Amino acid sequence: MDLLNTLVDKGLRRELPTREEALAVLATTDDELLDVVAAAGKVRRHWFGRRVKLNYLVNLKSGLCPEDCSYCSQRLGSKADILKYTWLKPDEASQAAAAGLAGGAKRVCLVASGRGPTDRDVDRVSETIKTIKEQNEGVEVCACLGLLSDGQAERLREAGADAYNHNLNTSEGTYGDITTTHTYADRVDTVQRAHAAGLSACSGLIAGMGESDEDLVDVVYSLRELDPDSVPVNFLIPFEGTPLAKEWNLTPQRCLRILAMVRFVCPDVEVRIAGGREVHLRSMQPLALHLANSIFLGDYLTSEGQAGKADLEMIADAGFEVEGAGEVTLPEHRAAAGGGCGSHTDTAGGGCGAHASAGCGSHQDAGCGSHEGGGVCGTAAAVPAGEPRTDLVAVRRRGAGTDLAPNA
């Protein structure tokens, strides 16, 4: 296809595609899908080789958020039966982080529900960051705490944070339909504050909330303009007890097209498959590794992911390799600019966690697996093709905030 040849050429030059070209990727047919994946894969491999960066979520404070984000199980008025607990102590958070690092993660994403941190909260998280870095040599830490006010990003940077995540989630034109307690402009402001403080900016989106192709392109172009080092792509999990519980709009093919479009628009950025990959990509997850160069290991904020061992096997079986702790994630031109996920002593790039109301990089309603073993997502034969896969959504009952071992 001439379109794909053009997009590959532009991706290798870091040239922005036209909106029409981005929309055309989303409009391709299933017969063209493998060609789309192959083309975007050329761009991914040019900038990132066959490396896959692993990230690990630690939910510092779960539930009881005052914001009304429609996608979130922790939102105001949520009836979702999730874990609810107040702040983990620094040693508890460090212990949880260590499980992910032992599983191969190189970045820990510290997430807390809420509109944004108080100054006391920043002190608390700063102490947690210091403890994690003291007890786990070489770890990268990303904070995901919601809307930032004056001086807070700088204080987190001084405490040792490498990155800050806050997602745009959806287009400016549709944002008010999803959330009313804060604005799209508030989110943009927080990303800019993090960037200005010297933190690696991480900001992404949630697909599957009923948005149009034009909305998806709008938010990805807005992200390109903000120039984060990493872009988490979440696929909505319609969690029971939330306003979007009936929004089952995604297919594995649709998810792959979205990831390809993001890669073409943001060719040299760490694209992370975040929440919802097990539920919506399902057996197509290995193909998505040809588009994205980063995933979350194990569980999410309020839901379970597939077993960490299964994640590692999937990466190896697909012909990719886990990115090592000493490897630089981002291309040289980005790392040299000071925003890149480089050595752990430098400002790290890459992003983080979960889009609770705090807005971190991975949609918290993203899981599957048994509550005991965290096995690979449920049986495909249990639900007819095209039907909602509610069987793949499991509330997290292990790891942070519980007495059970985490999945990593």
Residues annotated catalytic, as ranges: 65, 69, 72, 109, 142, 202, 272
Q: DSSP for 192-205, please give it.
A: HHHHHTTPEEE--E
Handedness of CA 112, 118, 124, 130 (dihedral sign): positive
Handedness of CA 121, 123, 129, 135 (dihedral sign): negative
Indicate the residue type of 273: I
Q: CB of 134 within 8 A of CB of 101?
A: no
SS3 294: strand
69: left (phi over 0), alpha (psi -120 to 50) or beta: beta
Beta-carbon neighbour count of residue 373 at 10 Å?
Answer: 11
Q: CB of 11 within 8 A of CB of 46?
A: yes
Residue whose C-alpha is closest to residue 232's, from 197, 258, 198: 258
Residue whose C-alpha is closest to residue 97's, from 306, 293, 352: 352
